[in-house]
Copies of this chain bind each other. A is one copy, B any other.
């Protein structure tokens, strides 16, 4: 899987060949297909593997510095990845997920867990009167996720991937979106 990550990052999902991944991993094509049923399944495994240990960090930051700082942690991470050249790969994963039900299912459970985590932090922040109490937590968490991904992909597309500028844009939008109504 490390070999596949290296190859995909270097050449993108569709450009990287199974032969290259085999060479990088030091195994034959037959052996690779013993562990992954297809090329698409390799992405699914990679993406699934990427989340997890960040969850704890997020909740800690939400308690210590507030919801928006915690969101900026996630957003900043994502923008760094895009700036490092993973944009096309991320878009490939999205495309592959939209097309393939099996991949979508294996990724969306992970995604829903992330949304639930943010929703929980939103409820905490509402209890602390830090943000608007009339926001529906799940829906707001989803919207914030969409905003992060949308800003990141747009910036990759427009070749404006400076992660600091991207984070400023997200922070400003999130503050407006979350601030209490009058």
Residues of A within 8 A of B (CB): 12-15, 87-89, 91-92, 94-99, 104, 107-108, 111-112, 132, 139, 142-143, 145-151, 153-154, 156-159, 169, 172-173, 176-177, 179, 181-182
Residue in B99, B150, B182 whose CB lies within 8 Å of A149: B150
Name the one of B96, B132, B143, B173 contacting A143, with C-beta atoms under 8 angstroms. Answer: B173
B residues within 8 A CB of A149?
A: 150, 153-154
Residues of B within 8 A of A177 (CB): 173, 176-177
Where chain A touches its partner, the secondary structure class is helix
Do B143 and A98 have beta carbons less than 8 Å apart?
no
Closest to A174 in B: B177
Contacting pair A154 B146 (CB below 8 A)? yes
Q: Is the CB of A95 within 8 A of B98?
A: no
Contact, CB under 8 Å: A94 / B153: yes
Chain B residues near A97: list those with CB within 8 A: 157
Distance between Cα atoms of A112 and B159 in the complex (Å): 12
Known A142-B169, A150-B148, A151-B150: A156·B12 in contact at CB below 8 Å: no
Shortest A44–chain B CB gap in Å is 13
- Distance in Å: Cβ of A171 to nearest Cβ of chain B: 11
